[in-house]
Amino acid sequence: MLKTLLLAAALALTLAPPASAQDDVKAAPSCRHCGMDREKFATSRMVVNYEDGSSAGTCSIRCTAVELATTLDKAPRSIQVADLPTKQLIDAEKASWVVVAGKPGVMTRHGKWAFADRAAAEAYARANGGAVVSFEEAMKAAYGDLYQDDAMLREKRKMMRQKAMEHQHMNHEGMKQDGMNHEGMKHDGMGHPGAEQKAAEPAAPVKP
């Protein structure tokens, strides 16, 4: 009887629908380190699960490298990454990774993508001029790119801030100009007496 119940439970778990592919996005909508939308970048997102029960959601292997470098007192229990074709989270250490030199990825100049299926990874590498590597090799590449990637990101953000300031300045100048035009119209109206004022002036005396 017990054996039958165990078999039934195992079968129920096997047939149960999988959890949402992006339940982790609800728990961590934005990347801990760069603030990027993890739903928008669902194909590269990662989750670091620590032994103390905490977890960290990131947008990419670049930000996962930053996460691991800044939490040296916490031991990772597991690291998950999105399978590029399906967006489903898979074991990052068991995944087949593709590093594409010279072709931008998420937060990096050199794309780094994970695949559950090695054949799919090899096909992607052939199509994009990349190399299939292990998780350890992909992480080493992420750390190796970190300095130049951060310099690129700082420059991009600097340009974005400058454009935002220029746009704000243009809007402010436009509002000032509109205000000056409005005041000019009011001044013109006050400087020219209306018909009522002319009608109130005394008539010239009639000579006999």
In a domain, 173, yes or no: no
Q: Which helix (H) or strand (E) holds 2?
A: helix 2-15
Element housing 79 (H / E): strand 76-82
User: Can you give the residue range of the structural domain that contains 107?
Assistant: 21-146
Q: Does some domain include residue 195?
A: no
Q: What is the rounded distance in angstroms from the CA atom of residue 84 to the CA atom of residue 111?
A: 12
Query: Would you say residue 153 lies in a domain?
Result: no
**Contact call for residues 109 and 149 (beta carbons, < 8 A):** yes
Using the predicted structure, report yes or no on whether residue 7 has a pLDDT greater than 50.
no
**Does residue 167 lie within any of the structural domains?**
no
pLDDT value, residue 159: 83
Q: Does some domain include residue 77? A: yes
Is residue 170 a part of any domain in this protein? no
Instruction: Report pLDDT digits (tens) over 62-118.
Output: 999 999 999 999 999 999 999 999 999 999 999 999 999 989 999 999 999 999 999
Query: Does residue 5 lie within any of the structural domains?
Result: no
Cβ proximity of 29 and 37 under 8 Å:
yes
Question: pTM for this one?
Answer: 0.68
Is 2 among the domain residues? no
pLDDT digits (tens, 9 = 90+) for 108-153: 999 999 999 999 999 999 999 999 999 999 999 999 999 999 888 8
